Amino acid sequence: MASGIFAILDDIGALMDDVAVASKVATQKTVGILGDDLAVNAEKATGFLSSRELPVLWSITKGSLLNKLILIPIVLLLNTFLPIAIKCILLLGGFYLAYEGIEKIIEFLFHRDKKEHSVLKHEDEELGEQAEKSKIKAAISTDFILSIEIVIIALSQVLDKRLPVQIMAVTFVSFLATVGVYGFVAIIVRMDDTGFKLIKHSHDKGLISKIGHVLVKALPVIIKAFAVIGTIALILVAGGIFIHNVEYFHHFLPQIPETIKIILLGLAAGLVAFILISISKKIISLFKKRK
């Protein structure tokens, strides 16, 4: 009886060792996409009233966890029974991310005079709530696409492992991605409040006060930087999806550096998606007017 229990414990220990090794490898391979994920989601999770930043961020975090809880079993099942479906989902997600990136670029180039619709500065509380819900929904939708990439990349690194190892390693990496990314975003969005508290605590004197002023002044710069980095990340992630999942693009124009090809593919896919969606919106609008 005792030997049986020790054998089970030994098996569990061996399994945990395999999971630890597999998780380490999978985490290393997803670091790049996590950097893009951070840039994109930091930009998505900012622009709210100070009192609503953490509640909104918590809502997005819960949505991100739910995304991964949905995706992990689906990706594992598809990888077993229909591997081609994973590639199709990735490509559709690539078009979505590219569209979002191009939309931001077009808005910056041609609609900068318009009032930023995503920042909650409306006097009307009802409109403010609608804008908040809309931005949360957009952030969770973008997170869903990025989560697909994270889950699939993590899984690709442990395909030679046993199924229990695959499940635990992918789950660990996915959980780490959500906690790490949104935990860091939470720190960023509260920089100004931390700065004001330091200034108040030091009575606006000395080194602590100077640090507080730096934090307060740095936040708007960081938010603007994340807006730019997030847009670039959307294009890069989208282009990377196409170049790594479509054999033709992988070998297309070998004399051009891969990074340039990724950017061009992301921009091209975004323009195609933007044109198609714009035409679809106009057709739907005309159809509604006729009704």
- For the segment 185-202, what is each residue's pLDDT rounded down to a tens digit? 888 877 878 888 888 888
Task: Report the alpha-carbon distance of residue 2 to residue 206 in Å, rounded.
Answer: 65
**Confidence tier at 271 by pLDDT (50, 70, 90):** very high
The beta-carbon contacts of 48-55 under 8 Å, at least 24 apart in sequence, are 48/119, 48/120, 48/132, 48/135, 49/120, 49/121, 49/128, 50/192, 50/193, 52/120, 52/132, 53/189, 53/190, 54/186, 54/189, 54/190
Asked whether the beta carbons of 178 and 69 are under 8 A apart, the reply is: no
| Residue 174, token pair as written in the block | 């996915």
- The whole-angstrom separation of Cα 150 and Cα 160 is 18
> Which tens digit of pLDDT belongs to each residue from 205-219?
888 888 988 888 887
Q: Where are the domains of the chain?
A: 16-290
Amino acid 267: pLDDT: 94
- Cα gap 283→286, rounded to integer Å: 5
Other Cβ atoms within 10 Å of 217 Cβ, number: 12
How much of the chain, in percent, has pLDDT values that exceed 90? Answer: 9
State the alpha helices, DSSP H only, in the chain: 2-44, 53-81, 83-110, 125-156, 163-189, 191-201, 206-245, 247-251, 258-290
Three-class secondary structure of residue 112 per DSSP = coil
Band (78; pLDDT cuts 50, 70, 90)? confident
> How far apart, in whole angstroms, are the C-alpha atoms of residue 281 and residue 265?
24
For the four alpha carbons of 81, 86, 92 and 97, in that order, the dihedral sign comes to: positive
Q: What are phi and psi of 190, to 5 degrees?
A: -100, 10
- Residue type at 285? S
Q: Which residue has the tokens 């995503």?
A: 118
pLDDT, mean of residues 97-115: 78
Note the pTM of the prediction, 2 decimals: 0.68
Determine the pLDDT at residue 27: 58
- Residue 118 confidence class, pLDDT cut points 50, 70, 90: very low
Q: How far apart are CA 76 and CA 55, in angstroms?
A: 32
The token duo for 158 is 């442990």
222 CB-near residues (< 8 Å, 6+ apart): 188, 191
- For residue 265, the model assigns a pLDDT of 92
pLDDT reported for residue 17: 56
User: 117 falls in which pLDDT band (50, 70, 90)?
Assistant: very low
- The whole-angstrom separation of Cα 99 and Cα 280 is 14
Share of residues in the chain with pLDDT > 70 (%): 76
What six digits make up the tokens of 83? 């591997």
Would you state the pLDDT for residue 127? Answer: 46
**CA-to-CA dists, residue 291 to 220, 278, 283, 288, angstroms:** 46, 20, 13, 5
pLDDT, tens digit, 9 for 90 and up, residues 88-105: 888 888 898 889 889 888
- Mean pLDDT in the chain? 77
Signed CA dihedral, 129, 130, 135, 139: sign only: positive
DSSP state of 116: P
Mean pLDDT of the region 30-55: 64
